[in-house]
Each structure stands twice: as C-alpha cells, then as structure tokens.
Amino acid sequence: MSENPLVPHPPLPAPDSYLPTHGDVRFAARHYGLTLDYRVATNHLVGTAVITAEALTDLNEIALDLYNLHVSRVRVGGRPVKYAQRGSRLIVRTSQQHGARFEIDVAYAGKPRPMPGAHGRAGWEELTDGVLVGSQPHGAPSWFPCNDRPSNKAPFAITVTTEAGYHVAAGGVLKERHTRSGRTTWTYAHDEPTATYLATVQIGQYAVRPVPAPVPVAIVAPAGLDVGAGSAFARQGEMVAAFISRFGPYPFATYTAVVTDDPLEIPLEAQALSSFGRNHAAPAWANERLVAHELAHQWFGNALTAADWRDIWLHEGFACYAEWLWSEAAGGQPASEHAADHYSRLALPPRGHTLTDPGLRAMFDDWVYKRGALTVHTLRQAVGDASFFAILRTWVAARSGGNVSTEAFLAHIEAYLGRPVPELRPWLFERDLPPLGQ
C-alpha cells in the first residue's frame, strides 16, 4: 500500500471553467526544458520537451496538450513508455504515486500552426519573415507538449536553433548564443513560474535597442522601423519607472517589447515580453496606451495569474486601469476623466453575465476590460490614493509568482483595511451596471 489510507490526499485542483478540455489536474508541471530546431523557410520544427512533473494523486497515465505535431518518442525517468496521440492530447502511460517527482521526455516534430479555439486561432504563427508566438488563452500546445492550465505555472528553459541572421527573443534571460554552420543557437532561462500561455518565442530579422529604465529593457524591432523618440515607445522606460512606483518592484529580470515587421490587429503580452505590430509604433495615444497596457500585464496577469479564466478581469481590468494611470503620470487626462468617459460609453453585458464570470465567448469583450477598470477605479475612490496604491503593492508582493482569484483579492483588501469595501460587490457580482461614484 503506497500511503496511509487514513491520511487523504489534498483535493485536486478543478479543471478550468472555460477550457476544461485543456490541462490535466492529476499532475503539475514543475519545470519545462524546451530544445527547438526551426527552419524559417519551411516552417518546420523539431523539438524535445523535458518536463519535470509532480503527481497530485496516484497515477497510471497523464495527458499532455499538443496540437498538430507528431510525437516520435516518450520517456519517463529515462525509460521508453507507451503513449497515444488523440486529437490535441498526448496520453502517456506512467505509474506514479501521489507526491512523486518524475521526468517526461517527449520528442516531436512537424509544421506548427495556431491552434483553433472559441476566439480564433492562437499560438505559433508564421509572419512574412519569421515567427510570432501569442498563445492566450489556448495556443501553447501549438508548439510544445504541456499541462495547459493557467493554475499550473512553472519555470522554463528554452533553447532555439535557427538560421543565422534571425534574432530570437524569448521570455527570460539570454544565457548563451553561438553560431555554427550558418545556424545560431539561443538559450534563455526564465526562473520565475510561468503559465504555459505566457511562454513565447519570437523570431525575425530584428535589431535590439536598449532602453534606459530601472531594469534591463529593450525594444526588438526591424532595423528600419522608428521605435525611439516620436514613436509610441518613446517613453517606455518612464512607463516602467511609473508602474514600479505604483505597483511595486518589476517582477522579472528583464522586459522586452518585440515589434514585428507585419501589422497586427492587437498586441499581446507574454511573460517578460510583449509583442506588437509595426502599426502600433506610430505616435498616437491609441498606441501609447497599448504599450502601457501590455507592460502592466507583467504585474497583473503574469506575476499574478488568475487560477481560472473566468477571473480574467484581474488581468485586463488592472491593465486597462494602468493605461489611465499612465495618462495621469504623463500629464494627460486623469483617471477620473477616463473613467467617466468610458462609463458613459460602456454597454451593458449580455443578460446573465457578471464581471467575475463573463462566459467563454465574452471573456475578451471590451466591456470586461472597461468594467474591470471601473471596478479598480471604484476601489481607489472608496479608500483614497494612499491605501489604494498600498493595496496594489502588497497584493503583488504577497502573490507574485502564484495564482489569484477574485475572492483572494477581496480577502486581501479586507485584511489590509480591516474592513470590506462593499462598493465593489455590485461591480463584481451583479449583472447591471452600478452607478459611478464621484
């Protein structure tokens, strides 16, 4: 008998409310080591994923998420094991006791492409000349086998070999780069826990522009594209400083903004890295606010990641409010004016939906972003600036590297203040739009 039957296992985490077919709650990934060889011209990827895992219950198999790539070998603990690919799931036979640590080694290859989902395709995407990986919320399986649930964060080490002349950017710190026979190998390490959808690789013919800031910051963009003075990125370093003063220390070792040579509909955050299209570099508030928005996600969404996608307002509401905070810091409209403007334009959510459970189809709708930001503004109005920013800084400090929920945020507020803030509850839990306080 493997364990004392009188001592029950801790309860397993619940599958994600909106993506219940992704991830496996029977185990947790504790580290990902990815070694990738990629041919840009043919979009061909050869990969090895070494996953350190922990059994959260007694196991006889696990399921990894992997889309459109063929597996040629699986080992557990160095020994070949039986496996089967069923749709976008890789079933691995392995007998493990609750609490055991074990290593899964998967060799795979193919032509990666974005994975379809309720909001379109996400993941590994070919550009005109290179690659962009933006996996929110379901695209991580398009390029590596993983336990694809936001409640399972783990450190990453990523090594990519591709044609010399291409720059490879990834979340984390560049540890090594060397060129041999016309191909360059880049090795990145990201020691902070990372949700699978926030892992990324960006490949293009880019130049690196360091940015003066309190932490190492760089803009990676085509050599001929202006991302300096006069562009939407002109004050990137100042943004970092402004958000550090409001949210607390920057949570990672570096920050990189990648600007592709292709236009993109929207920018997208990854951990320690955000990606933009060349269209987002033009000097306009509509672009500058997006630069601020994606940076703010490094605190809200990346360092603190919702355990369940239904709590996405904890990412997008705070990042949207950070746009208004940057407007204040940069000498533009105060947050109160942005709040009043967006309140007057905010459409009611679909019948039956609340901010804390908008539904899969509506989770990226603008009303979630703006109602979320108005909820954050309501907290600021209710407690005053000193307590508001202290709540944000202590919230980040207490939870950085982990997962969060609405209930945990409310508990944090109450613990800090010694009382609840009842003004928040209609914004969070009622369908109708509450009045905006003054």
Two tokens, residue 339: 């709040």
Can you give the pLDDT at residue 132?
98
Tell whether 276 is covered by a domain: yes
258, 381: one domain: no
336, 264: one domain: no
278, 329: one domain: no
Domain boundaries, position 137: 1-205
State pLDDT tens for residues 178-234.
999 999 999 999 999 999 999 999 999 999 999 999 999 999 999 999 999 999 999
328, 188: one domain: no
**405 pLDDT above the threshold of 70:** yes
How much of the chain exceeds pLDDT 70, in percent?
A: 97
- Which segment of 6-10, 139-143, 226-230 scores lowest on mean pLDDT? 6-10
Among 199, 187, 47, 50, CA closest to 122: 199
**3 pLDDT above the threshold of 50:** no
CATH number of the structural domain spanning residue 382? 1.10.390.10
250, 262: one domain: yes
279, 335: one domain: no
Can you give the pLDDT at residue 34?
98
- Which segment of 35-49, 83-97, 351-365, 402-416 scores lowest on mean pLDDT? 351-365
Tell whether 33 is covered by a domain: yes
Residue 131, classified by CB atoms within 10 Å of its CB into exposed (0-12), middle (13-18) or buried (19+), is buried
Two tokens, residue 33: 């080591």
Tell whether 434 is covered by a domain: no
Can you give the pLDDT at residue 438?
55
Q: Are strands 273-276 and 255-259 parallel, antiparallel or unpaired?
A: parallel
How many other CB atoms sit within 10 Å of the CB of residue 341?
A: 13
Whether the Cβ atoms of residue 107 and residue 92 lie closer than 8 Å to each other: no
Burial track 82-119 (b if 16+ CB lie within 10 A, e otherwise): ebeeeebbbebebebeeebebebbbebebebbbbbbee
Whether the Cβ atoms of residue 163 and residue 89 lie closer than 8 Å to each other: no
Tell whether 19 is covered by a domain: yes
164, 255: one domain: no
Tell whether 159 is covered by a domain: yes
Tell whether 436 is covered by a domain: no
CATH number of the structural domain spanning residue 165? 2.60.40.1730
**8 pLDDT above the threshold of 70:** no
Tell whether 437 is covered by a domain: no
With a CB cutoff of 8 Å and minimum separation 6, the contacts of 310 are: 17, 18, 356, 357, 358, 363
Can you give the pLDDT at residue 346?
86
Tell whether 435 is covered by a domain: no
Which of the pair, 351 or 189, is modelled with greater confidence? 189
Q: Confidence band (pLDDT; 50, 70, 90) for 9?
A: confident
The CA distance from 50 to 36, in Å, is 12
**1 pLDDT above the threshold of 90:** no
184, 312: one domain: no
182, 213: one domain: no
State pLDDT tens for residues 289-341.
999 999 999 999 999 999 999 999 999 999 999 999 999 999 999 999 999 99
The last residue of one of the domains, among 274, 298, 322, is 298
138, 195: one domain: yes
The last residue of one of the domains, among 298, 331, 349, is 298
Q: What is the dihedral of CA 119, 194, 404, 294, to 10 degrees?
A: -60
C-alpha distance from residue 383 to each of 320, 389, 414 (Å): 20, 10, 11
Question: CA gyration radius for the chain?
Answer: 22
Beta bridge partners of 31: 52
142, 110: one domain: yes
How much of the chain exceeds pLDDT 90, in percent?
A: 94
The last residue of one of the domains, among 262, 278, 298, is 298
State pLDDT tens for residues 234-254.
999 999 999 999 999 999 999
Provide the domain count of the chain: 3
Mean pLDDT calculated for residue range 30-48: 98
Share the mean pLDDT of the chain: 96
Query: CA 411, 270, 349 angle in degrees (round to 5)?
Result: 55
Query: CA 249, 136, 71 angle in degrees (round to 5)?
Result: 115
397, 424: one domain: yes
